[in-house]
Structure 1
Amino acid sequence: MKKDNKSNETKVMKQKFSTEIRTVFDKEYVKVFFLDNHDLNEYKMLLEKRKEVKSVSITKSESRAHGGDTLTVYPKPMVDGRALEDIINISLTKYLSGIHEEFVSTVSEVHFNDIENRILSALDSAKASVDLCMAWFTNEKLRDKLLEKKAEGCEVRVIRYKDGVNQSKGVDLSNINHIEIRGERHGIMHRKFCVIDNQTVLDGPYNWTNNAETKNDEDVLVHKNALELASSYTKEFNRIWKLNENENLQ
């Protein structure tokens, strides 16, 4: 009975709007017709939040079967008309059923000054995990923040370059789950990135060192709500970790 009710509900929702794929200059787009046009601006804003949608405009209908205003929806490159039509149908059906989806946009910022505090602020947001892959790590203030997050219950892992600088001047990582490695191609392990809760990424040339903060001209990029980017970095972090953990897991 639950399946029947759900199916009937979907049919009722579909009666409130219909979609039609059209083509202009070999490019597909979707027209959306509504039984009631009073909430057209709300529907427009809803569809504009979809990452697959390039633009949405309110246009006069040229169809005899559907008079009044309609929505004209254009897809982003690599999204065809059929896929766009499916996305529109799912989004509108959920919305008309009272299910309001939340869309969070990625925010990327680049910082050239006060970088240490930018990193500390990002680390303060950590709720579950921090994965750091850093060529050189000599900044004790940043190390202490990792220890603080660990004490709060976050899983903290660090990959650091195994060289003379880190051995003589590097921070003490004995209380943090970490490994020290060489470059895979017999060069320097030069990576510098941090993933927080698999959704925030810090990357750029800035090493977590005192010189980077007080002497060098540096920059760091902070990407918030960057799920796809964070997943790519986490995947690479896990690959490096598994490749080396049996040799020198501390």
Structure 2
Amino acid sequence: MFFSKKTHPIWSTLIIGAGTIAASEVLWYFYNYVHDLLKWQQAQVHEVHMFNELGFECFQEHRAHSQRGKFFTCPNTHCTQRHIERIIELLARAKFSIDLAMYSLNSPEILLALGKALQRNVAIRLIVSQPVVTPINGNIFNLMRAGLKVRSQPFVGLMHHKFCVIDGRTRVDHIWSLKRRSYDPPATYSVVINGSVNWTQGGFGANWENLVITSHHRIASEFQAEFDRMWETFVGSD
């Protein structure tokens, strides 16, 4: 038997209220789903950058303007400086971690970006080829005093990698577990920067090199796993 609103006002109110709540829950779930999907799509990145003679043409001009503290609008579509600024942009987006395995590292701009990340309490680990006890670039020692952790290979041969993992999933989970929070960490999206180029002035400004940037989950996981494995195997400053 159907009841009318007039004869059963309480039941009608309860049914309408329950329906409204259920509809609100569905809408809220849908909103969060769409919101998270859009954030995920915006975070996806798959890029290839080439360092070659086409990008070298304006490199010195960029350096000259930088030393004078002036902004330079570069018309060169192959500009090497744009590639460097893209790396810096990604480092600036790091929320929790930066894991960097780099055969050689001395780019002032990259070191400055790493310093800023440390100031944001981003955990940074660096694996280099030479033993930590040998004289490293003085700027790296300054970063170590600011919290940078450094390790190097204890074996004969070269740690010849040139890759970076930003906010690797397992690394973020580990950092979050140390905070002993009862809730999950904010959504983060891993990014891998990998290629032939050393992050040095010579590598960026004088060599023919390549750089691949990707947020592909499986690729990021593989690079993070290898970094973690090397970190446990190598010796270092911490």
TM-score interval, normalised by the smaller of the two chains:
0.5 to 0.7
- Identity, in percent, stands at 26
Q: Flag the 1:146–1:169 CA change in 2: closer, same or farther, 3 A.
A: closer
Aligned to 1:233: 223
Aligned to 1:217: 208
Residue 157 of structure 2 aligns to a residue whose secondary structure is coil
Aligned to 1:206: 197
Aligned to 2:152: 181
C-alpha distance in structure 2 between counterparts of 1:210 and 1:163, whole Å: 21
Q: Which has the higher contact order (CA 8 A, sep 6+)?
A: 2
Structure 1, unaligned runs of 5 or more:
1-93
Superposed displacement of residue 154, structure 1: 0.8
Partner of residue 110 from structure 1, selected from 45, 48, 53: 48
How do residues 1-250 of structure 1 correspond to structure 2 at under 5 angstroms?
A: 100=33, 102=37, 104=40, 106-112=44-50, 113-114=80-81, 115-162=83-130, 167=135, 169=137, 171-173=139-141, 174-175=144-145, 176-182=147-153, 184=155, 186-198=156-168, 199-224=190-215, 226-244=216-234, 247-250=235-238
Contact 2:131/2:154 (8 A) holds in 1: no
C-alpha distance in structure 2 between counterparts of 1:151 and 1:170, whole Å: 18
Aligned pairs, how many? 151
Structure 2, unaligned runs of 5 or more:
1-25, 51-79, 169-189
C-alpha distance in structure 2 between counterparts of 1:205 and 1:227, whole Å: 21
Contact 1:177/1:249 (8 A) holds in 2: no
- What amino acid does structure 2 have at the position aligned with 1:249? S
Superposed displacement of residue 151, structure 1: 0.6
Taking only aligned residues, the RMSD between alpha carbons, in angstroms, comes to 2.8
C-alpha distance in structure 2 between counterparts of 1:231 and 1:222, whole Å: 14
C-alpha distance in structure 2 between counterparts of 1:110 and 1:221, whole Å: 5
C-alpha distance in structure 1 between counterparts of 2:223 and 2:118, whole Å: 21
C-alpha distance in structure 2 between counterparts of 1:151 and 1:142, whole Å: 14
* TM-score under structure 1 length normalisation: 0.53
Superposed displacement of residue 216, structure 1: 1.1
C-alpha distance in structure 2 between counterparts of 1:132 and 1:196, whole Å: 9
Q: Which of structure 1's runs of 4+ aligned residues deviate more than 6 A?
A: none
Superposed displacement of residue 213, structure 1: 1.5
Structure having the larger proportion of residues in helix: 2
Residue 229 of structure 2 aligns to a residue whose secondary structure is helix
Contact 1:161/1:189 (8 A) holds in 2: yes
C-alpha distance in structure 2 between counterparts of 1:141 and 1:150, whole Å: 14
Superposed displacement of residue 98, structure 1: 5.1
Residue 209 of structure 2 aligns to a residue whose secondary structure is coil
Structure having the larger proportion of residues in strand: 1
Which string of whole-angstrom CA distances, capped at 9 and with x for unpartnered residues, describes residues 118-158 of structure 1?
21111111111111010001112211111111111111111
